[in-house]
Structure 1
Amino acid sequence: FNLDELRVGDRIGMMRKTNGNLHLYINGLDQGVAATKVPSLMWGVVDLYGMTVKVTIVDRDEREEHNLITRRNTALRDYTLNDLPEEDSVDRLMFHPKCGGHAAVINNARTAHRPNSRPRQ
């Protein structure tokens, strides 16, 4: 898939697998391994360039949520609750407020945009 062909409404995603491989997803389709030996705690980075004007972090849809819960439960069935770390109550799906001089974080840190960008004619 050519990232230059993304359109308004397309979804990109990243998922770190238990083996440390990071997979890239475009509109729900696994594009394969993007990186290996990725630490369990990581930060995603979105580069606003080219025709990209705005990127928003969105919630999963109901079907995606169900699939992720099923996969998580399957992966965790061999563990006890005592083996699992406590989850933070902080929403981790947010843009960091520190960004470049030509970008701004808005919408309760869920959207990053280039306020002075102009769409191509």
Structure 2
Amino acid sequence: MDYGKNEVISENFEVQVLPAILSEDFETETVGWESSGAYDTWEWGVPTSGSKKAFSGEKVYATNPAGTYRNDSDMILSAPAIELPEGQARLQFKHWYELESYDYGSYDFAHVYVSTDKENWDSLAEFTG
């Protein structure tokens, strides 16, 4: 019975939950993560500026966890390559950003790209201030 005293019939379903192929909380030494680019300030550590906290635990990857980045920075943070099984795949992540903008647009952008060969990249998302 539901709260309105209506009879409710539910079916049982079994759902297979597959383990994550890559799961990272950044609490232990990171393996395979690489940063590059103009004025690259990506660092792994405890943030003391910006959000000042991690989603879980204490550590994050951030563009200068203790301050800001240069105006003319163009940086990349790459996750380690992973091999996906055939079929559909899903990318899920937590992020925090503070991107500079002005009345008619944005100075700063953040992008999420994927690649199967590290040469050709497909854009999955773009974030602006």
Q: Would you call these one fold, judging by a TM-score over 0.5? A: no
Compare the two structures and name the one with the higher strand fraction.
2
Larger Rg: 2
| Bin for the TM-score computed over the shorter chain | under 0.3
Between Structure 1 and Structure 2, the one with more helix by share is 1
